[in-house]
Amino acid sequence: MIIRPRHTAKDSSHSSNDNVSTDSRTEFWRDPAVNYVESRRACNSRACYKPHSHPTFSIGAVDAGGSTFTGATSGPCSLRPGMMVFIPGGCVHACNPLPDQSWSYQMLHLDAGWLSALVAEMSNLSGGFISESEIRLVDKDVVYRRFCELNNLLFSTASKEDKNAALIEFIGDCDCGENMVETFPAVSPCASLAVKSVIDALQQTERQPWGLTELANLSGLSRYQLIRAVRVATGMTPHSYQLNVRINQARSWLQSGHEITDIAYRLGFADQSHFQRVFKAHTGVTPGCYRA
């Protein structure tokens, strides 16, 4: 019998106008003592995401309903209940419910540095668990069941030692198979020095957002050349990449307890309302819901 996660926390990010069923739930698990992992469970969600990337290694699982994964160079992929995705840090992607339907899912984010160090300890680890440029689509009941058990434990009152041991065991035992999908890396290794200089500039979150003309002057490219070059290198336009970087920074600051108004100001958003709209478009929840 497939283990289904329990969803208990109401997703306060949805208003009565969001066209989401009243039993929609989203909950997060974080622990400062285990600060290299974050887990999320969503039930009956209709939230849709813009293409985005995370600095973390992400593991997702579909519990109910269907989803379309976008970000692969070969085009969209369909995901059904029990299927999982293993997404390297920096890979541009989006998982959204089928049109006019809701879905339930789980998502685990692992600090990329912590995971790389852990895998380096495991000489017998199944090859390919981590890839810098490819996503694994996994359709194995045993992997899905283990993942659900791990997530149930993370959301429980078990000790941090038990949670850490279960996480390490899951990674060590995980057999993802060979179903790999090529996707966009954080920055293509073939990117020119001009594009890399633009990427470095866009990483500067505590300044006013860069305009396209400013970036073109910085790179020595025309605006058209710049848009095309950055899209090839990252899978995003300069503007989309810049917003994604700032939202990832916002997630980190929210976890540290920073005030939403302060974050919006420091990241250069016009106002708190603008920041909340962009944040929700990338994460599916409001900043307040994510911090809580």
- Tokens encoding 272: 């708190």
More confident residue, 201 or 180: 201
3-state SS of 10-44? Answer: ECCCCCCCCCCCCCCEEEEECCHHHCCEEEEEEEE
Query: How much is the pLDDT for 269?
Result: 93
What are the residue ranges of CATH 1.10.10.60 in the chain? 193-291
The pTM (predicted TM-score) of the whole model is 0.78
Which conformational region is residue 105 in: left (phi greater than 0), alpha (psi within -120 to 50 degrees), or beta?
A: beta
Task: Tell me the pLDDT of the chain averaged across its residues.
Answer: 84
- Tokens encoding 109: 């984010």
Choose the weakest-confidence range: 8-12, 49-53, 233-237, 267-271.
Answer: 8-12
Determine the Cα–Cα distance for residues 274 and 209; give it in Å rounded to an integer. Answer: 14
Residue 233: pLDDT band (50, 70, 90) is confident
DSSP state of 67: E
Q: Are 199 and 241 in contact (CB under 8 A)?
A: yes
pLDDT above 50 for 90: yes
Determine the Cα–Cα distance for residues 33 and 263; give it in Å rounded to an integer. Answer: 24
Decide if domain 193-291 falls under CATH 1.10.1740.10: no
Determine the Cα–Cα distance for residues 87 and 61; give it in Å rounded to an integer. Answer: 11
Pick the CATH number of 25-182 from 3.40.50.2300, 3.90.1530.10, 3.30.70.260, 2.60.120.280: 2.60.120.280
Span 71-83, average pLDDT:
83
pLDDT above 50 for 11: no
pLDDT above 70 for 99: yes
pLDDT above 90 for 173: no
What are the residue ranges of CATH 2.60.120.280 in the chain? 25-182
